[in-house]
Structure 1
Amino acid sequence: MDIDDELLLHKDLNEWTERKYIIWKAIPISLSYLLQNILPFISVFALGHLGQTELAVATLSIMCYHFTFVALIYGAATALDTLCSQAYTSGDVKMVGIFLQRATIIQLLGFIPIACIWWESEQILILMGQSPAISSKTCSYLRYLLIGAPAFLLFENLRRYLQAQGIMKASTYVLVICCIIDICLNYLLILYQPLSLGFIGAPIATSITNWLMFSFLVIYTKFINGYQAWGGWSRAAFYGWKQIFTLAIPGILMVCSELWTSEFISFLTGYLGELPLASQGILSVLVTLLYQSPFGLSVSASNRVGNLLGAGLVEKAKMTSKLTMQFAIILALFEAIILIVFKDYWGYIFISKDDVVKYTSNVIPLISIFEISDGLNVVGQGILRGQGRQNIGALINAPGYVVLGLPVSIFTAFILRYGLLGLWFGSTASSIIVCIILLIILWRTDWQQQLEECKKRMKEGKDKLESMISDVPDF
């Protein structure tokens, strides 16, 4: 039997089959998100050849883009991790398409105020202390990103729709192609003089790439695999929004409390001086790259647990959660060991200055501890998403990272004068505490209750669908 056929969820699935499935699905997801995280660096690299001002504008614009949009989309899309994965195996696959439509409509409406903020971002940035010149160019950059932002939203939701069906490779194929296209677009629109648009070529290239990503994924879904769960456009998409909000709002809190804290830590590094700032740039890239492996495992676990609960196989869902956490421990320890063993060499990948490399190597032992707890957190929260317990993730993450982590980071960095080491100490301490609480919650999970919640969730969705009038013709 092909491993994709295992998604049919036979009751005799054993631990060995589950291990194969989890890893088989996690690898393309990790590669997919790794490629997606590379895309912003392509624009930064290209703009770096134009000058320091353009590089500063790109850095600030991309930070605003991720802070006010990408993080929110990732958080809101966690609702689909739960609803689509559980719906796919609950007896009516067409509900997967309905949930996709509902979430997409809500997110597009939610994007309207974000678009207004971007359009008026020049005055906002000036009020925050940025120079008028940087603020003006950043505003222009964000306005051009408006062209492609809806496409990113659509791509991310469609990816979750496919992942719920066990189709993990589609977005990887698309991103391999689009990364190559994005490199060419950035070269043509920024560096190639006959066509160069200057710094504004970067957001235009990003917007074009976003629309290509979405278009290619639609083509894959329509003509290759994934269309089977799409029941056509339905008026039911305009009802039953409470289910989406119930999962999306805590999902946003769960994701954003961690991502925003991380961004704020990087922002605070600017007050420590040039050397810590350069080191933080290296460490941020390393942490981002290492994050992709446990995140791939997290997405695989989320959809697998959701599929198993939707099929009523509660013992298999419990087994999958246990096996996934075992993989998470092994992976986290491996990444930590790799960091420690090569701690004196990582910096040279990015820069040749010995003082920066040495400063970075002194912080890496602490980063390795952070990677262990963070890796377990990422995977554990994937299991929570599969169960539909984003509210638990929000209740752990928000106090852990914001209320505890940030004050400790500021105190140890600036009051005790430990600098960058102090900033990472706060992040590591909060990550460890979040990890301990999360593991206890997962260990004490009442799986029978989660099965009942899943049945209730799916029944509510189907009841709403049955009460609606006829569908609009297929897409």
Structure 2
Amino acid sequence: MEKDLNAKLLQERREGEGSGGAVEGDEEEKDLGKKVWSEWKKLWVVAAPAIFTRFSTFGIQVISQAFIGHIGSVELAAYALVATVLLRFANGILLGMASALETLCGQAYGAGQYHMLGIYLQRSWIVLFICSLFLLPFFFFTTPILKLLGQEDHIAEVAGTIARWFIPVTFSFIISFTCQMYLSAQSKNLIIAYLAAAALAIHLFLSWLLTVKYKYGLPGAMISTILAFWIPNVGQFMFVTCGGCPETWNGFSLLAFKDLWPVIKLSLSSGAMLCLELWYNTILVLLTGNMKNAEVAIDALAICLNINGWEMMISLGFLTAASVRVSNELGRGSSKSAKFSIVVAVLTSLSIGIVLFFLFLFLRGRLAYIFTNSREVAQAVANLSPLLACSILLNSVQPVLSGVAIGSGWQSIVAYVNLACYYLVGIPIGVVLGYLIHYNVKGIWMGMLFGTLVQTIVLVFITWRTDWNKQVFSY
């Protein structure tokens, strides 16, 4: 992180409420049980609403896909293509760049520099709006891009129409991601969960009303989708600007246009870090599509990734919680509390991961029948279940460590780690095991898992070897 940003965060923390020494002394007086319980409550205050919100947001896309599937198979294929490739591409970039706000707001709030949170929020709006403008050509030229990539013409044409409907959804991410991170830094994210639940219920009703009752078809489904993404944004924006955050929101300010370059650099680092992770599974699917009997392999892999995707909502909730807790404690000047919050977050998430690990090992192929009637696909899922279980176990640790990195401002370092571990280790090993040694989709997934394992080990080593006292006083 840039020094000029760091200096603004903690210039007053040694006086009054921000005294690190007082914090350390208070912590030492508590017994271990009380410390764990206190930290656990603080963790879940952030993690529970974050997990629920991610489940709700994921559910919006599932509902849209279900109703569009009843319109026609071409529309369903086109929607799935746009949602899984184009929207995920835009989502990864904007979410990654917005995660810089987790670092800045979390540390500023911990340092008692409350007035800076509103400034950082407005700066992030500016940066993400500019980024969204650069993404627009992908949505306007979706059809020729997909035809160039070999997609069938009739699917590409419908996908181009759907992509243009998704432009307002992409711009909704600007308010959604930034307000969520701004509110989470203050542990005020219950309002986010309430709004997400309301949007999900409204979306379900409107989708039925517009596509089933009034037969508006694809436009009806997409109008409902756009409203589902924007309704929480209106609520969050009103909450932030109309008195919900009196300490941290002092109105719109021209200061938002100053010192933008350091924020842009941190946002780019954050975007690179997160995009390299989010696009990893996409490459797994693309590699699988070039194999023999690819239809069964992709069906089985899609089922496994769907299950893994739902479980990832839990992991990403803990990513947010770890980022908030670490950044808050670093901002307060408490190195011991920062380290303790990391331990509690990792052990809590790992405990959930271990339970799910054995659950999916036990269920194996039986889970597949929720999604398919094919015995061949179910058997393929059963064969992949051990790898799915291992993925879930690694996912219970790796995102938490990524959250620690975000809270500490290490995005640039982790971006290089992700590039090396995923794309220079995981994918090449997967290609060798899948294509040359003929382990097929298992081999590709094993290679990808190895890359994730190496990344997790590196992040554990970086976290373990960090001088947290030095980390505190570098801000």
Could you tell me the TM-score, scaled by structure 2's length?
Answer: 0.89
| Structure 1 counterpart SS, 2:227 | helix
Any idea what the Cα deviations from partners look like across 1:81-140, whole Å, max 9, x if unmatched?
100011112232110010010011011011112112211222222222122222221111
| Conserved? CA contact 2:175–2:237, under 8 Å | no
Match of 2:244 in 1: 225
**Structure 1: distance between partners of 2:373 and 2:156:** 32
**Structure 2: distance between partners of 1:60 and 1:224:** 41
Matched, 1:347 2:354: no
CA RMSD of aligned residues (A): 2.1
Matched, 1:335 2:356: yes
Counterpart among 202, 205, 214 of residue 224 in structure 2: 205
Matched, 1:381 2:372: no
Matched, 1:85 2:73: no
**Structure 2: distance between partners of 1:281 and 1:122:** 24
Equivalent pairs counted in the alignment come to 447
**Structure 2: distance between partners of 1:307 and 1:377:** 20
Match of 1:249 in 2: 268
Any idea what the Cα deviations from partners look like across 1:382-440, whole Å, max 9, x if unmatched?
01111111112111111111222222222222332222212211111111111111101
Match of 1:140 in 2: 161
Matched, 1:453 2:471: no
Amino acid at match of 1:228: E
| Conserved? CA contact 2:65–2:76, under 8 Å | yes
Give the superposition deviation at 1:223. Answer: 5.5
Match of 1:237 in 2: 256
Q: CA 1:191–1:224 in 2, change beyond 3 Å: closer, same or farther? A: farther
Amino acid at match of 1:91: G
Match of 1:62 in 2: 83
Give the share of equivalent positions with the same residue, in percent: 26
Give the superposition deviation at 1:200. Answer: 3.3
Counterpart among 49, 52, 70 of residue 31 in structure 1: 52
| Conserved? CA contact 1:78–1:247, under 8 Å | no
Any idea what the Cα deviations from partners look like across 1:166-214, whole Å, max 9, x if unmatched?
112121111111011111222233333x3x3322333322212222120
**Structure 1 residues not aligned, in runs of 5+:** 1-5, 455-475
**Structure 2: distance between partners of 1:224 and 1:36:** 26
Q: CA 1:358–1:93 in 2, change beyond 3 Å: closer, same or farther? A: same
Matched, 1:71 2:107: no
Match of 2:206 in 1: 185
Any idea what the Cα deviations from partners look like across 1:210-260, whole Å, max 9, x if unmatched?
221201222333567334311111111111112312321121111111111
| Structure 1 counterpart SS, 2:111 | coil
**Structure 1: distance between partners of 2:241 and 2:81:** 37
Any idea what the Cα deviations from partners look like across 1:291-347, whole Å, max 9, x if unmatched?
122221221111011111111112211111122222232222122111112213211
| Structure 2 counterpart SS, 1:233 | coil
Amino acid at match of 1:77: A
| Conserved? CA contact 2:60–2:228, under 8 Å | no
Amino acid at match of 1:438: L
Matched, 1:404 2:425: yes
Match of 1:266 in 2: 285
Any idea what the Cα deviations from partners look like across 1:149-179, whole Å, max 9, x if unmatched?
2122211111111001011212111111101
Counterpart among 58, 61, 72 of residue 51 in structure 1: 72
**Structure 1: distance between partners of 2:281 and 2:243:** 38
**Structure 1: distance between partners of 2:209 and 2:286:** 32
| Conserved? CA contact 1:7–1:166, under 8 Å | no
**Structure 2 residues not aligned, in runs of 5+:** 1-16, 28-34
| Conserved? CA contact 2:333–2:473, under 8 Å | no
Match of 1:120 in 2: 141
Match of 1:467 in 2: none
Match of 1:311 in 2: 332
| Conserved? CA contact 1:149–1:210, under 8 Å | no
**Structure 1: distance between partners of 2:360 and 2:296:** 20
Amino acid at match of 2:210: L
Give the superposition deviation at 1:8. Answer: 12
Amino acid at match of 1:445: T
**Structure 2: distance between partners of 1:102 and 1:47:** 37
Q: CA 1:266–1:412 in 2, change beyond 3 Å: closer, same or farther? A: same
Task: Name whichever of 95-104 and 253-262 sits farther off.
Answer: 253-262
Counterpart among 436, 442, 445 of residue 415 in structure 1: 436
| Structure 1 counterpart SS, 2:71 | coil
| Conserved? CA contact 2:18–2:333, under 8 Å | no
Counterpart among 359, 368, 380 of residue 389 in structure 2: 368
Q: CA 1:174–1:440 in 2, change beyond 3 Å: closer, same or farther? A: same
Amino acid at match of 2:322: A
**Structure 2: distance between partners of 1:235 and 1:426:** 49
